[in-house]
Structure 1
Amino acid sequence: MTSRQAGAPVHDHDHGLAHDLEMIRRQTQERRRVLAWLSGFGGAAMLGACGGGGSDGSGSFSALSASGTTSTAATTTTTTTSTSTSTSTSSSACIADPAETAGPYPSDGTNSANGSVSNVLTASGIVRSDIRSSFGSSSTMAPGLPMTLTISLVNSNASCAALAGYAIYLWHCNATGKYSIYDLPAENYLRGVQVTDSNGQATFQTIFPGCYAGRYPHIHFEVFQSLATATAGSNAVLTSQMCLPRDLATSVYGTNSSLYSGSSANLAQVTIASDNVFGDNTAAQIAAQTPSLSGTATAGYTGTITVGVAG
């Protein structure tokens, strides 16, 4: 053993075995305190990292924070992509309905019936959901297979947003192809106005229209920005027509041949392609102009259609 020289500086490892053991004991206790502290801090740091907290730590805590930030970014990207896709799909679900002729029987103030200007839009009682009967001086019910149609009015230039508070004027021929007011001066049935609700919807109770010579089965309608402006066809923001599904028309006319006299024969002579109104429309336009109907040719039909207005 080498003895320490007098006057030499004293170092920690020069105090002998007893001193060294005491130092080891103290260091062990210190390590335990540090580990306990790190254990408590580490949980908080990990929570902070998962929440996308700051990365001002170092070592393993910095790595946890980076991992948390990456996870958050991935989640955000996924959500954004999903929302974008959904919006895109919704936007492509509607197109602007093409403008079509009001035809010779609108009774909207734009032409005459029986020698005088005809405008049922200014008549008391025209605002109604059930348009099957006449109103005013007559209450005759138009015979025909019941059909309930809900129209959803949307802005095709604004992601198909619902158009609430708009007015829709609907009219069509009866089961034998005759129009009230014009062919039937004493009647005004199968005509009515409804105001769209907060969802842009309006529902009409009517009948399945007949098919007259030269035209494919159809329904006329005009759209106005408000009920206050629905007083003349010249105020309409859209005048168009709906076409009925051919298979259903065939079934209705065949099953109810006595009620829809002549309709089967007339339908056999015309197609959408040969029709003088629908014939020049695209497949997408025809699809948009055709209501989706469910039911039977004996009990009636219920259906929906979305009408796009280029707002």
Structure 2
Amino acid sequence: MQHDQHDHDLGLAHDLIRLQQQALERRAALRWLLGAGAASLGGAGTLALVGCGGGGDDSSASSSGSSSSSSGSSSGSTGSSSTSCSVIPEETQGPYPGDGSNTANGSIANVLTLSGVVRSDIRSSIGGATGVATGVPLQVIIELVNTNASCADLSGYAIYLWHCDALGRYSMYSSGVTGENYLRGVQATGSDGTATFQTIYPGCYAGRMPHIHFEVYRSANSASSYSNKLKTSQLAFPNDISTAVYATSGYTGSATNLSQISFATDNIFSDGYSLQLATLTGSASAGYVATLRVGISA
């Protein structure tokens, strides 16, 4: 859901009020996506995402995310089907977090302080920047659960999510997009524990498997600086889906970069990624929906 510039200028308080109104919409959208989406596509499918650096241990994973064998050109499923109640691995935030923990172009880079950062559709820039990221549509649905309470849904928390664009560039940091802040946004979890983002499938840059970064916060109010985060991790995605996406226009260099890396040689996912492997439905022509259960010790 996109909002005009006037909404962005109303500040964080307005954003939080709007989030309450969106909670019911998110639950209805999730039911439609998982129900009607499966009907229209003729079955479950899975996607691979791309993003930016991290690393962690996944030794307790029990899902089948270590392999990807279905065809990326169809809507067949690949990815994790784990229903285990395990804490997602902690990963590095990488060099391009935009959460106030480092600088970009000589100043502190913190998109979390901008009015309008609390939003579902993260494809456009905010705060006066006008860029819009283009690529294969991707909806990301994260279900946040408490591993200390049999994976009960955690409502009222917040997810900050960011990733690179179709050319492998990070807004705020990379040459050509230092003045943009697209593909970054915050969403509060609803009563069902889910936070939903509308974005694009990220490109694959040299040396990393496709991925998306995210940080977990106790609330949208506290999601203003990295110092308040509870967890940092990444989403991973199956090779077959990435291959299908990178065969479309707009992803210059991604197919070559993907062919030169694997989960075994990736410096983040080589120690395990099954708890981070998203389940996806859709196609490269119609877009994808990616879902991932994220367990934290709350």
TM-score, structure 2 normalization: 0.70
SS at match of 2:274: helix
For the pair 1:133 / 2:124, whether they are aligned, the reply is yes
Aligned to 2:290: 303
Tell me the percent identity.
57
For the pair 1:213 / 2:200, whether they are aligned, the reply is no
Aligned to 2:76: none
The structure with higher relative contact order (CA 8 Å, sep 6+) is 2
Count of residue pairs brought into register by the alignment: 215
Aligned to 2:107: 116
Q: CA deviation at 1:92?
A: 5.7
Aligned ranges for residues 248-267 of structure 1 at < 5 Å? 248-254=241-247, 256=248, 258-267=249-258
Aligned to 2:193: 200
Q: CA deviation at 1:155?
A: 0.7
| Alignment partners' CA distance in 1, 2:100 and 2:110 | 4
Aligned to 1:244: 237
Equivalent residue in structure 2 for 1:182, among 165, 173, 193: 173
SS at match of 1:279: helix
Report if the CA contact (8 A) 2:89-2:275 is conserved: no
SS at match of 2:149: coil
SS at match of 2:172: coil
Q: CA deviation at 1:234?
A: 1.9
| Alignment partners' CA distance in 1, 2:209 and 2:251 | 14
4+ residue segments displaced more than 3 Å:
none
Aligned to 2:86: 95
For the pair 1:156 / 2:125, whether they are aligned, the reply is no
Aligned to 1:107: 98
Report if the CA contact (8 A) 1:215-1:270 is conserved: yes
Structure 1 portions without partners, runs of 5+: 1-90
For the pair 1:170 / 2:151, whether they are aligned, the reply is no
Aligned to 1:144: 135
Aligned to 2:78: none
Aligned to 1:87: none
| Alignment partners' CA distance in 2, 1:191 and 1:94 | 28
Q: Give the root-mean-square deviation of aligned CA atoms.
A: 1.2
1:148-190 Cα deviation digits (max 9, x unpaired): 1111000112100111000100000000100000011111100
TM-score, structure 1 normalization: 0.68
Aligned to 2:45: none
Structure 2 portions without partners, runs of 5+: 1-81
In proportion to residue count, which structure has more helix?
A: 1
